[in-house]
Structure 1
Amino acid sequence: MAQNNLKKINILLADDHHLVRDGIKSLLLKYNDFNVVGESGNGVEAMEILKATEEPIDLVLADINMPEMNGLELCKQINEHHPKTKVIMLSMLDHEKYVSQALQAGAKGYLLKSVNEEELIFSIKQVMYNSFYVCAELAYKLLSKSLMGVRIGVSQNQQVKVDFSSREIEILELIADGYTNLEIAEKLFTSKRTVEGHRLQMISKTGVRNTAALIKYCLIQGVLKANLPD
């Protein structure tokens, strides 16, 4: 019978929670593909293991929050001193800034600790095949946020230009110059209530939230001209 000559993936676990390391280790050892060669509670210990281990370590599964040296600094150190060793961040932190920081530090993957066994195994193999991997839950969250930003941007860029009457423009110009409703009414020989009605009507037309936003909108749309000092 032919012997399986496929090399196992040597993995180092770096997490300051002993129970977390035990759980990951017991999970990985169920598979013939993996060999857990070491465990550390912080980045300093992890670097010492990397230096001392004779057989090369292929992958480090590291938490971000660790004492003495955190996962991001550990990742930088690994990329500098052990460039052939890949790093996957395994964290509870799901904000995009941590994913960005991990990428900048040289990580090849980012997983939330809520991932299931199947995705953890898949991610390790993906990263070992020179692919970057972000867990599905986090990828979905980041994509949803990105698409929301696109929709907001499209909505803002596609605002329909509103037509104002000559009286509304007069009132707009006086509002922009800092006049109150009463002062505008006196200047235009009308009532304060009429001025306020025009103001509310313009806010309704443009769909903005308040008078300041109305002025900003009209400046952007060219309805009002900015009065700059000479």
Structure 2
Amino acid sequence: MDSSVPIRVFLVDDHAVVRSGMRAFFEMVDDIEVVGEAGDGEAALAVLAGLDELPDVVLMDLLMPRLDGIGATRAIKQLYPRVQVVALTSFSEAERVHVALEAGAAGYLLKDAEADQVGAAVRAATRGQVHLDPAVARTLTRSLAGPARTSAALTPREREILVHVAQGRSNRDIASELMISERTARTHVSAVLGKLGLESRTQAALWAVREGLVSDA
């Protein structure tokens, strides 16, 4: 995206004080602007439907009345695939994080995250990368309960593919970087998941962090 154009952010949280705090922070940041807000998932979907220009990123609280953040994230990703969602909550249980990420969230932050972490998550989301609060990443990597397989099960090319997946790159990006076809990239990703006994790209990224192939910083 054009770096001269501010990243458009939409805030969804049932606590007005949290939304006000987020607005105050983003007003001090040159490359991010708040373009709207809502107090729950249903209200967010209604407001988004009426916007002339969609936001780039939605900061989404998970625990809200009417429609919670998980349901709202799923709906947004179905209706507006190009809009990225960063989950924001006061909970760090691995199961809740997994559900949010599988729903389509491009990041997960705790509400006590430092301001620069919030900004980093928003920017990462616009680049198609998954950004996890460091504490959340540590919790998730410890929680992976798949077979005790190592990267030795992978070919050198598959390890290279895995690192790209962990960095949030799409099959198209991987194909372009490695000068292979998108179909070949997709085949390699499927092979990596199969050999490691994993079900998703998110799990593959977390596995790579746990094995030290990439950093969770």
Q: Which of these residues, 81, 96, 99, is aligned with residue 98 of structure 1?
A: 96
Superimposed CA distance per residue, residues 142-196 of structure 1 (whole angstroms, 9 cap, x where no aligned partner): 334559x97xxxxxxxxxxxxxxxxxxxxxxxxxxxxxxxxxxxxxxxxxxxxxx
Inter-partner Cα distance in structure 2 for 1:17 and 1:85: 23
Which runs of 5 or more residues in structure 2 are unaligned? 149-217
Contact 2:7–2:33, Cα closer than 8 Å, also in 1 = yes
Tell me, yes or no, if structure 1 residue 88 matches structure 2 residue 82: no
Inter-partner Cα distance in structure 1 for 2:98 and 2:144: 14
Number of residue-to-residue matches in the alignment: 146
Superimposed CA distance per residue, residues 61-109 of structure 1 (whole angstroms, 9 cap, x where no aligned partner): 0100111110000001101111111000000111011111011111111
Give the drift of 1:141. 2.7
Aligned position for 2:54:
56
Give the drift of 1:139. 1.1
Aligned position for 2:133:
135
Change over 3 Å in CA distance of 1:96–1:51 after alignment to 2: same
Aligned position for 1:31:
29
Give TM-score scaled by structure 2 length.
Answer: 0.63
User: What's the C-alpha RMSD, in Å, of the aligned pairs?
Assistant: 1.9
Contact 2:94–2:143, Cα closer than 8 Å, also in 1 = no
Inter-partner Cα distance in structure 1 for 2:31 and 2:47: 21
Inter-partner Cα distance in structure 2 for 1:141 and 1:104: 16
Q: Which letter maps to 1:27?
A: F
Q: Which letter maps to 2:60?
A: A
Q: Secondary structure at the match of 1:69?
A: coil
Change over 3 Å in CA distance of 1:92–1:131 after alignment to 2: same
Q: Secondary structure at the match of 1:51?
A: helix
Q: Which of these residues, 75, 91, 98, is aligned with residue 77 of structure 1?
A: 75
Inter-partner Cα distance in structure 1 for 2:114 and 2:24: 14
Inter-partner Cα distance in structure 1 for 2:134 and 2:3: 32
Inter-partner Cα distance in structure 1 for 2:3 and 2:121: 22
Aligned position for 2:184:
none
> Which protein is bigger by CA-based radius of gyration?
1
Give the drift of 1:137. 1.5
Inter-partner Cα distance in structure 1 for 2:107 and 2:97: 9
Inter-partner Cα distance in structure 1 for 2:116 and 2:5: 21
- 1:52-201 residue pairs with structure 2 within 5 A? 52-145=50-143
User: Runs (4+) of structure 1 moved beyond 6 Å?
Assistant: none
Change over 3 Å in CA distance of 1:7–1:44 after alignment to 2: same
Percent of residue pairs identical = 29
Q: Which letter maps to 2:63?
A: N
Change over 3 Å in CA distance of 1:6–1:17 after alignment to 2: same
Inter-partner Cα distance in structure 2 for 1:48 and 1:142: 33
Inter-partner Cα distance in structure 1 for 2:67 and 2:142: 33
Aligned position for 2:19:
21
Inter-partner Cα distance in structure 2 for 1:82 and 1:143: 30
Give the drift of 1:140. 2.1
- The higher-RCO structure (CA 8 Å, 6+ apart) is 2
